[in-house]
Amino acid sequence: MKNSYDVIVVGGGPSGSMAAKMAAEGGVSVCMLEKDRDIGYPVRCGEAVGELGLKQFVEIKDSWIAASITHFGLVAPDETRVEAKFTNQKGFILHRRLFDYDLAQEAANAGAEVFTKSYVNGLLIENGFVRGVTLDYLGEPRTIRAKIVIGADGVESRVGRWAGIRTQVKMKDIETCVQYSVANIDLDINRIVFYVGRCYAPGGYLWVFPKGERSANIGLGIAGHLAKEKSPKKYLDEFLQREYPGASILTTMCGGVPCAKPMEKPVADGILLVGDAAHHVNAMTGGGIISGMKAGWIGGQVAATAVHSGDSSAKFLQTYVQKVRKDFGDTHNRFYRMKNTIINLTDDDLNAIARQISRIPENERTLTRIFKACVFKKPSLIVDVIKVFAGI
Ligand SMILES: Cc1cc2nc3c(=O)[nH]c(=O)nc-3n(C[C@H](O)[C@H](O)[C@H](O)COP(=O)(O)OP(=O)(O)OC[C@H]3O[C@@H](n4cnc5c(N)ncnc54)[C@H](O)[C@@H]3O)c2cc1C
């Protein structure tokens, strides 16, 4: 580990690895610091991604794919089930342990130096500019200087806060999640299933994502302000007991997802934030792998350009903010507004929507038609739904 790099990336998740790779490919020296012992572990994720999203950045490896998803099911509070087929792409449930590891390897192959057991505990700030980080590396205190720091330190990000960036998320916009990896269950390996409604997960949803012939990630997220009334774990235990009484729980994980608007200003002098650290999550689904990778992709490129031009000011880094806004930020703002409408649907509304959708012949149940059925129940969604589908 050297004492100085052009770019330091804090966090070795998908956003961090993407940022490190792109910065290194931009011809600057890069180091990526991960606090855990292994890249990719522990996994705190349902591990679902869309094929098209992933293909933008990487050649998909078979070893990453636990299950290929062609169908999805939606279960309403009154147990009305809606089944549909993905029409224009398939989805995957990943082995994130392997996926994250390989992404970090790609960053390393591009020239980034990767260090694990490197816990960043502060920023070096000179005249208001971030100029590096302080860390605990294998138990030893270290200081590393940099022209730009990229904060990719996830939902619990502190790097942004240390730089004076407003990082707070309202309680109602944090999904409090719990997930079990379970075995010994019967399920369709090509189908993901969502359970919606207050009885399953108030202010969120419950998911069953297949991970193998007889195993799955089963988890749920509850809006933070509702999680005090009854814990997410209690909801999940009740569900498991009811639906999969013979399941063995192999792993338990808890975590938060920032289902908020993307941060408006994820930059300050000498620093930019990517991924969960900048709230780059689709607030409707809680999915953040692809948008985090996209932010890392853009952020790494902009960081390299900033180093070459000798300007790492917040003003220069505004290019990053604009590019993210144009790429997915505006759409994520719409998802956020849609989430706020959907979250207020009553169980009766959800039952009515499910029944409406189940009237559409199964082979005609495209996402667009499903959204149309939602809009029928909640006309206030219409403008955002149209804009999302029109890509504007
Ligand atoms: C229960 C659950 C289910 C989810 N399911 C899905 C899903 O199915 N699909 C989907 O797309 N998204 C899902 N998400 C969200 C997804 O996991 C995140 O959006 C994604 O991991 C964001 O990537 P990231 O690189 O920004 O952050 P992370 O993957 O969280 O990576 C951040 C990294 O930074 C490291 N770090 C943190 N602090 C420091 C520090 N001080 N020093 C050094 N390193 C540090 C962490 O150890 C971590 O490795 C889920 C999240 C949860 C909690």
Q: Where are the domains positioned within the chain?
A: 4-45+96-168+263-328, 70-89+171-258, 340-390
For the Cβ of 15 lying below 6 angstroms from any atom of ligand 1, the answer is yes
- Between CA 217 and CA 220 the distance in angstroms is 10
| pLDDT at residue 226, as a whole number | 83
For the Cβ of 35 lying below 6 angstroms from any atom of ligand 1, the answer is yes
Q: Determine the distance separating the centroid of ligand 1 and the alpha carbon of 184, expressed in angstroms.
A: 27
Q: Determine the distance separating the centroid of ligand 1 and the alpha carbon of 361, expressed in angstroms.
A: 38
The topology (CATH level 3) of 4-45+96-168+263-328 is FAD/NAD(P)-binding domain (3.50.50)
Q: Which amino acid makes up residue 278? A: A
Tens digits of pLDDT across the chain (392 residues): 999 999 999 999 999 999 999 999 999 999 999 999 999 999 999 999 999 999 999 999 999 999 999 998 989 999 999 888 887 789 999 999 999 999 999 999 999 999 999 999 999 999 999 999 999 999 999 999 999 999 999 998 999 999 999 999 999 999 999 999 999 999 999 999 999 999 999 999 999 999 999 999 999 999 988 878 899 999 999 999 999 999 999 999 999 999 999 999 999 999 999 999 999 999 999 999 999 999 999 999 999 999 999 999 999 999 999 999 999 999 999 999 888 888 888 898 888 888 888 888 877 776 667 766 766 666 565 555 555 555 44
For the Cβ of 151 lying below 6 angstroms from any atom of ligand 1, the answer is no
- Between CA 282 and CA 302 the distance in angstroms is 23
Q: Determine the distance separating the centroid of ligand 1 and the alpha carbon of 203, expressed in angstroms.
A: 21
Looking at ligand 1, which atom is closest to the CA of residue 93? 8
- Between CA 169 and CA 261 the distance in angstroms is 9
- Between CA 33 and CA 41 the distance in angstroms is 14
Angstrom CA distances, 192 to 54, 85, 211, 304, 378, stand at 18, 10, 10, 39, 25
Q: Determine the distance separating the centroid of ligand 1 and the alpha carbon of 152, expressed in angstroms.
A: 9
| pLDDT at residue 162, as a whole number | 97
The region that residue 240 occupies, defined by phi over 0 for left and psi between -120 and 50 for alpha, beta otherwise, is alpha
For the Cβ of 100 lying below 6 angstroms from any atom of ligand 1, the answer is no
CATH number for region 70-89+171-258: 3.30.9.10
- Between CA 127 and CA 134 the distance in angstroms is 17
Q: Which residue's CA is minimally distant from atom 12 of ligand 1?
A: 287
Q: Determine the distance separating the centroid of ligand 1 and the alpha carbon of 33, expressed in angstroms.
A: 14
Q: Determine the distance separating the centroid of ligand 1 and the alpha carbon of 130, expressed in angstroms.
A: 23
Q: Determine the distance separating the centroid of ligand 1 and the alpha carbon of 221, expressed in angstroms.
A: 15
Q: What spatial distance separates the first Cα and last Cα of the chain, rounded to whole Å?
A: 45
For the Cβ of 278 lying below 6 angstroms from any atom of ligand 1, the answer is no
For the Cβ of 119 lying below 6 angstroms from any atom of ligand 1, the answer is yes
For the Cβ of 299 lying below 6 angstroms from any atom of ligand 1, the answer is no
For the Cβ of 258 lying below 6 angstroms from any atom of ligand 1, the answer is no
| pLDDT at residue 392, as a whole number | 44
Q: Which residue's CA is minimally distant from atom 15 of ligand 1?
A: 288
Beta-carbon-side half-sphere exposure of residue 248 (alpha carbons within 13 Å): 5
| pLDDT at residue 378, as a whole number | 63
Q: Determine the distance separating the centroid of ligand 1 and the alpha carbon of 363, expressed in angstroms.
A: 35
